[in-house]
Amino acid sequence: MNYADIKFPDIQDGTGIRIALYVSGCHFHCPNCHNKSAWDKNFGKPFTDETIEYIINRFSENESYCEGLSLLGGEPLEFYNQEGLVKLTNKFKERYPNKDIWCWTGYDFDKDILNKMYKENKVTRKLLANIDIIVDGQFIPEKKMIDLIARGSYNQKKIDVQASIKTGKTVYLKFGDEHRYDGLTQKPKVILVKEFSKANPEESRFVPTQNVIEEYFESERGNKVFIPNQNLEKISAEGIKFKYKEEK
């Protein structure tokens, strides 16, 4: 097994401040993948016991404010990556039973993982026993929304792995941002964002906009628009229907 990168601190992949391991090798080859160099399983450096020690030690030095470990790729659930990740996650959970592990995969959790790999493969069972949240599914550019939490496209789902194993059924997590897209057959045309006035930061309000293609863009009043996560969750819970609303 090889890995492409270790990122610390990482604030993009999961909640809070984390340490992230990007493994090498992925057969999915999604269009617009951000980690194409990691498609090759031989890319990067060998994943050894020293790598595990490094990750554990790095986390340990910063444990008080770090929330957990994130596994990305590449494809963490390629069979050739699973053994190494079992070793890492065993050690991580042994040392930090209250910290969480997130994992991103291109596989469909329900079909490919819970109802196949988990049933057929002992190593997968060991690995899943350590993972708290899986974000599943390939990245689909036509379904890309930049405001999704922890996902690139809205076909991807956040899954409570331990609850799924316990019940034998896939248990989806709702962080407040799924409801907008449930049951939709096409991309929403209007969402609400929060507009910040640079000149007067106190003066901010929710404004409607067309499909979001950039994280920052000019609003109708010429101000930069920024989308902070906590507001998105609030907005998301309100649905996609156009509804002008002053901030309370």
Count Cβ neighbours within 10 Å for each residue of 56-65 and write b for 16 or more, e otherwise. beebeeeeee
Residue 28 CA to residue 17 CA, distance in Å, equals 28
Residue 33 found at the interface with ligand SF4 (CB under 6 A): yes
Residue 80 found at the interface with ligand SF4 (CB under 6 A): no
> What minimum distance in Å lies between the beta carbon of 76 and ligand SF4?
9
The nearer residue to ligand SF4, 124 or 138, going by C-beta atoms, is 138
Residue with tokens 């901010």: 204
> What minimum distance in Å lies between the beta carbon of 64 and ligand SF4?
31
Residue 213 CA to residue 45 CA, distance in Å, equals 35
Q: Which of 5, 10, 13, 75 binds ligand SF4 (CB under 6 A)?
A: 75
Q: Which of 2, 89, 130, 138 binds ligand SF4 (CB under 6 A)?
A: 138
Residue with tokens 């790729």: 73
Residue with tokens 């993948």: 33
Query: Cα 27 to the chain's mean position, in Å?
Result: 19
Footprint on residues 95-124 left by ligand SF4 (CB under 6 A):
106
Q: Are 17 and 10 in contact (CB under 8 A)?
A: yes
Residue 29 found at the interface with ligand SF4 (CB under 6 A): yes
The nearer residue to ligand SF4, 144 or 194, going by C-beta atoms, is 144
What is the binding site for ligand SF4 (CB under 6 A)? 26, 28-30, 33, 35, 73-75, 106, 138-139
